[in-house]
Amino acid sequence: MTVPPLQQGDFVWCAFPEREAPLRPGPLHVGYTLAVAAVAGGHGVMVAYTTSQPWSGPLPPGVIAFDSEEAASLGQARAFVLDLRRLAYVPLTATWFPRAGEVGAGVLGRAPKALRDRVNAAVTELAKRRPESLSRSGPLWGS
């Protein structure tokens, strides 16, 4: 089995599906890699949504904001929000990860272990206590 070019904690360019078309690739977008797993014919990647749009009001459970300094340390050009309530489970293919074949595999940065642990705890808590708050998209759910 080949080793996938992505790892848990990578911030990566992906074709994150839009809410209007949850099973189809969307425009190129930065996502946070929650997990990479073997699936029939290759690998599946669970990705969480990020946005550079400022968040107004208090952050709900599962939303983590990063200021510009934190963002820069993670390979991001500007402040952003990681929304663990919006998840996609997609195949690791050129359709979903158009830059995976390039040097660096489209990875912009990697979260340090402490942040990966924090994110994992937050998404686990959401799944246990607020599963209705999770929005799941992508063709691999249920596979």
Q: Per residue in 14-73, pLDDT tens?
A: 999 999 999 999 999 999 999 999 998 889 999 999 999 988 889 999 999 999 999 999
Query: Which pair of tokens denotes residue 126?
Result: 């959401």
pLDDT over 60 at 126, yes or no: yes
Cα-based distances in Å from 115 to 9, 15, 71, 93, 98: 8, 24, 12, 27, 26
Interval 8-17 mean pLDDT: 96
Poorest-pLDDT segment among 18-32, 92-106, 110-124? 92-106
CA distance 29 to 42: 22
- Predicted local confidence at residue 66, as pLDDT: 94
Beta bridge pairs of residue 11: 32, 109
Residue 67 CB neighbour total at 10 angstroms: 10
Task: Kindly state the percentage of the chain with pLDDT values over 90.
Answer: 80
pLDDT over 50 at 10, yes or no: yes
| Global pTM exceeds 0.85 | yes
- Predicted local confidence at residue 3, as pLDDT: 59
Local structure of residue 131 (DSSP, 8 states): G
Q: For all residues of the chain together, what is the average pLDDT?
A: 92
